Amino acid sequence: MLVKSAVFTLLFSLSYSVIAEEAITPESLVYCTVCHGSQLKGNVNIGAPRLTGLSQWYIERQLKKFKSGMRGAHPDDATGGEMMKMVSNLSDQQLTDIAKWVTKTNSAKPTSSIHADAQAGKALYQTCAACHGPQAVGNETLGAPKLSSLNDWYIVTQLNHFRLGLRGAEVSDTYGQQMKAASAVVTSEQDAANVAAYIQQLK
């Protein structure tokens, strides 16, 4: 965790204060691509997920949660804490522009990186399907994001974060609280891996 934090700090400490003053354009979004990649396909080594494929409304919502401290404030959520720092000085309009830009990017769908029991994951996923849909494409009306475009390792990480209270613990985080309750069926890291393996098959 300390190594990841140090990497983030090194990459952004020189440029962040300047970027926060600028209008968000593709040219000024280099600081996003340093971690998430030029095609936003993610980087498992520093815990940066693939962003391509996510909807504008969901990206914007998460950025605002990071900015407000609703997400990323838990001391054990190192990457979430770094995201809080990255967006803390950005305006709501800049966050909207970032979200719009992300939806215009394209990258290859992520390949499987974990070995788990997809059939066991299918059984657990039925609870998830109520909001995210049987094909994990999401449902904006329910505030449920698309899952099928995410890295499997990131799905595992976030399910564990909900399970352990690193995410969704804020009372004011309505969707986070709902997700925390719904993910109660995931009782172990193995369960999380099984669910992710099943979602990977839906891509």
- Cβ pair 197, 116 in contact under 8 A: yes
CA distances from 186 to 58, 63, 155, 156 (A): 23, 26, 12, 10
Q: Is 86 annotated as a binding residue?
A: no
CA distances from 108 to 52, 56, 150 (A): 9, 19, 11
Place of tokens 């393996």: 197
What is the Cα gyration radius of the chain?
16
Ligand-binding annotation for 32, yes or no, is yes
70 annotated binding-site participant:
no
- The answer to whether residues 176 and 158 touch, using CB atoms and an 8 Å cutoff, is no
CA distance 45 to 153: 11
Instruction: For residue 35, say whether it is annotated as part of any ligand binding site.
Output: yes
The annotation status of 83 as a binding-site residue, yes or no, is yes
**Dihedral, CA atoms, 169, 199, 185, 146, nearest 10 degrees?**
40
The annotated binding site for heme c is made up of 32, 35-36, 83, 128, 131-132, 179
Binding-site residue numbers are 32, 35-36, 83, 128, 131-132, 179
